[in-house]
Structure formats: C-alpha cells, structure tokens
Amino acid sequence: MRDLHTAEELRRAIIDTVGANGGHLASNLGAVELTLAVHKVYDPFRDRIIFDVGHQSYSHKLLTGRAEQFGALRKFGGLSGFTSPRESDADAFISGHASNSISLALGMAKARTLNGDDYAVCCIVGDGALTGGLAYEGLANAGQSGEALVVILNNNGMSISRNVGAIARVLGYAFSGLPYFKAKQRIKALLKKIPGGGTLYRAIHRFKEAAKGALLGGNIFEQLGFRVMGPIDGHNEKELEGFIRLAKSMDVPTLVHVVTQKGRGYAPAVANPGLYHGVSPFDVKTGIAESHAVSSFSESFGAALTSLAAEDKRVCAVTAAMEDGTGLSEFARLYPERFFDVGIAEGHAVTFAGGLAKQGLRPFVALYSTFLQRAFDNVIEDIAILNLTVTLCVDRAGLVPSDGVTHQGIFDVGFLTQIPNMTLAAPANYDELRTLLRESLSRDGPLAIRYPKGAESDVPLTMLTENASVTIVSYGAYSEEPFRALRILEKNGISADFIRLISLKPLDCGEIAKSLAKTDFLIVAEDSSANGSIGQQLVSKLAESGNSPKRVLLMNTGDRFIPQGTVAELRRELGLDAESIAENVGKALC
C-alpha cells in the first residue's frame, strides 16, 4: 500500500481494512483530519503523541510507515489495533484502556523538564474518556504543574454508546477564533518588551478572567489551570493545524476543544456510530456484517436478567459504557429506571452497586473482564468487606480475539479468588448461566460469574471410566478443548477421567480426589494466567488434604501478556488447543 496523505485516502484504507478484518471504525473515521493536523504540527518520532484508548489511532499508523502492514491489522503476528511502542517508535505509549492519557502526558512532560530534553507533548482524549475519574486526576495535576503540554479534547458525544452524565453537557462553551488567540499572543509579547509590561498584562488578564467568570460562569478546564481554545471544527484540517500549532507554542498547559463526527465519511457509521464503534468483518458496500453465531453469552445474560427484572423489582443492571456489548439494551428499554450506564468508570460502577446493595436492592454489574481489573480495589473495599450481595457479570472472560494484550480476560480468576467472601462461578452453557443468575437472588454475599465472548459449549460435567490413567480438569466454555483432547487420547488408547468445574470458589476437590486415587496424574487446562490459576489452587488444596497426585500438568496462558489473534490461533500458540493438550499428555505418559 502506497503512502497515504489525504483524509479521503486514509478513510478509504480504514474502511476497506476494517471491513475485511473487523476493528474500531466509527472512532477512527471521526479523527482523520485531526490526526493529519497533529502530524503536521508534531514529529511523532521525536515528540510524544499519546492517544487515549488508542482505538482512534489507525490514521496515525498509516502516517507513520505502517501502510504496507495495515492489511494485517488485528491479525495474529500483524499490527495491533491500538498503539504499541513495540510496534513503532512513533507510538509514545501502549493503549487500550481509557482516561490515562493526561497523566501519561504530564509524566512525559515532567521527564522532559527534569532531563533537559527538547520535545513537545500532546495527548488526544475523547469526551467519553472524561467519564473516567483518572482523567480528572490527570487534569488537576497537569493544570497546576505549569508544564507545557497540549490536551486535545476530541468531542464527538460518544464513548461506545452515547455519553452520559453531566460532563457531556458542559463541553459546549463559547467559541473564540484563531485570530483572537493570535492577537492575544501578540499583545502579550509586545507588553513584555515594555518596562512593567508583564505586570500590566497579568493585571489585564486577571480583570478579564474575573469579568468573564462573573458574566458567563467558569469553565472547568480553565479552573483547573488550562488555557482553553475552542470548540473547533474537527474536520477543518487547516483551522485545526493553526490552533494546534498555536497551542504547541504556548508555555502553559493548554486544552484544545475539537468537535468531530463519529463515523464521518461512511454513511452507515454516521447513522449508527454505536453499532460501528467496534465491528466484525462486514461488506463495505452494504455495511452488513458477516453472519455470526446465532447466540452468545452476552445475549443470553441480557435476556435472562431482563426476565428476572420482570419478576423482582429489586433487580438493577449497572454497566460502564457497554450497554450493547454486555447484552443490556432490552433491559435498558424496558426498565430504564433500574438501568444505570455510568460511563467509562468501572470503579464507580462497582462502588455504586455496593450502595444499591446496602439499601436492599439486587444489582448486577456487567463488565468485561479486562475492565473489571480497574475496579479491583472497589470490589474489595465496597462490596466484599461488608459481604454485600452484588453479582459481578464478567463478560469476555478468557482469551478474546483481535484486541490483544490490553483486552485479554485472563486475570480475573487470579484476583477474584483471593478476595474473602467472594464466590466465583464459570458456566459452560446458557442454562447454567441462567441458573446462577436466578440463584443469586436468593443468596447473600458477592458472586462473580465469568463467561467468554461467544457461544456456549456442549460439554458434560463429568465423564469417568474405571481404567482411567489421567484426570483432566477444566471449567467454563473453554473446557470444550480439553474434552476434545480426551477423545483424541481415547483414539490413542489412553483413557481419562474428565471433570468440569462450575464453582471455582469455593473449590470442591472431592470428586477430583476420587479420580486421582485411580490415576495419580492431574491435568488442569484453563485459559487463565498461571499465577493464581485454578490449577495452582487445586494442587495446593489437594496437598493440604493429603491427596497430592504423583504427577501434575498445569496448562494455562502462562506468566505473560497475550497478543492479538483469533481465539483458535491463540490457543494453538499457547498449547491450549485439543491437539496440543493430547500431545503433551501423551508425552508425559511415556
């Protein structure tokens, strides 16, 4: 693919590639002119350009020498769907989760000052990320730091779904044009040349700000210490370049407010930006996605919770900018007074649910596994200590396709099972999920239910044989792989017991111990991180009860971060597919 230089060329490359590979479409299409303007002002290989979340960085990749590899976007061994310093020196930092860019920018700006370096720092943050508290921690510190840095606020009124909360309503402050800011800079420079001019300028500035505050009210960003420009048309490349160049020239924290249209340049994405935020491969001409599974765990969860809400008025649903992704759209339509989308604020979602539960309601918090990590402290402090009845519905648990290291749901087993009072369950099919949801209404204490992206698996709970030589243990929908491995072993003359767990905490080792009395060889296969894995916990518990097997084979994702790829590719790479499991068991028995 040749080098791309115009907004039209960039949009065509993005639409064609996302149509073939899937990915983040609407957010990237809305940021094309903005990215072009930023690249005309900043040198991405010397200056530090930080993309919040990074799902709007496709144009940046195309402009920084990766056009030839762009066809492998989000593919195994190809380009990440987010920024990654391992991929290019033009990527200032890894991205994938929201609201951290301002803190990162300040850290890099402060390092520049301490090291005596000469580079500029700019971060691009969406208004959706401003629903996350970390953004305000960064804003407050950066505004008072005096460091020269530029925050570009890309305001498209969306995160994934439409933005919620008061912040979405305060971004419409008055426009001040580029000539005004340039004239202001000229007056400041002129006064500095006059004896006492600096004092005079500061007095005039204080008077102007006081008058503006009295007449118009304050601006939250100005109150935090930022020089503010905008809002600016985010699709006027020339005007954008002028404002960003001026902001870069200032020696104070500066915020440039840019207004863009999510999905711009592709009619289906403009009409439905939420639907085209993150998409599976689709027909570019029609906008119609490729056929997918008839059902999914997310859809089943949403339908089951909606049914429970009809029966029990205590049932509430809480999510963090993931109404569609977690299957809660119908719940939100039918029970809007009991549906709470808190924006990109996972910690708040969990603590808010704790407040609901303390007053007798039954909140169900639906979050992706990778985002629940951000609320770890809140789960401990605001739910578990008081043993509050909050159900954490952990979507996208286990390996996930395409999004890579920042989105793999492989850590929730390790951190949830270490929390006192917590119960953790892993259904393999929709019936088990529905049963767990219903049972959560009649139990006390926190419960986490983890399930993958995708469809259910038809795997039995147990399959025992008299002459088994190995005991295979697994859980959740992933257990389809070790169960297939069992069938391969049978063909090779190796008999095995198979035990699928639903409850991961508490762990019941009774049936496993009985099987090990025959086999003395424990195999635990799971798509979770090694540290804190169920395999480790089983080995420890069996040892405590005097039932330690002679041989143990723990198969998991290891102590590593997992790149992008299809789930099948990742399982094969990690040795967690059926063929690899059977091969490793066979070698261990030799």
Residue 431 scores a pLDDT above 70: yes
pLDDT digits (tens, 9 = 90+) for 368-422: 999 999 999 999 999 999 999 999 999 999 999 999 999 999 999 999 999 999 9
pLDDT digits (tens, 9 = 90+) for 5-16: 799 999 999 999
Percent of the chain with pLDDT over 70: 88
Confidence of residue 277 (pLDDT cuts 50, 70, 90): confident
pLDDT digits (tens, 9 = 90+) for 555-567: 999 999 999 999 9
Give the mean pLDDT of the chain. 91
Cα 66 to chain centroid distance, Å, stands at 24
Cα 397 to chain centroid distance, Å, stands at 12
Q: Taking residues 198-217, what's their average pLDDT?
A: 50
Residue 161 scores a pLDDT above 60: no
Catalytically active residues are 262, 346, 374
- Enumerate domains of the chain plus CATH numbers: 7-173+219-259 (3.40.50.970), 297-450 (3.40.50.970), 462-589 (3.40.50.920)
pLDDT digits (tens, 9 = 90+) for 180-204: 555 555 666 666 667 766 665 555 5
pLDDT given for residue 310 in this prediction = 98
Rounded distance between C-alpha atoms, residue 271 and residue 554, angstroms: 49
Q: Taking residues 131-159, what's their average pLDDT?
A: 91
Q: Spell out the alpha helix ranges (H) of 473-566.
A: 480-491, 510-519, 534-544
pLDDT digits (tens, 9 = 90+) for 236-273: 999 999 999 999 999 999 999 999 999 999 999 999 88
- Residues with Cβ within 8 Å of residue 148, at least 6 apart in sequence: 109, 120, 121, 250, 251, 252, 253
pLDDT digits (tens, 9 = 90+) for 476-502: 999 999 999 999 999 999 999 999 999
pLDDT given for residue 290 in this prediction = 73
pLDDT given for residue 1 in this prediction = 43
pLDDT given for residue 274 in this prediction = 81
In terms of C-beta distances under 8 Å and separation of at least 24 residues, what long-range contacts does 355-360 make, across chains too?
Answer: 356/316, 356/318, 356/390, 357/383, 357/388, 357/389, 357/390, 358/386, 358/388, 360/314
Mark residue 343 as left, alpha or beta (left: phi above 0; alpha: psi -120 to 50; beta: remaining).
Answer: left
pLDDT given for residue 128 in this prediction = 87
pLDDT given for residue 201 in this prediction = 54
Token pair in block for residue 93: 């930092």
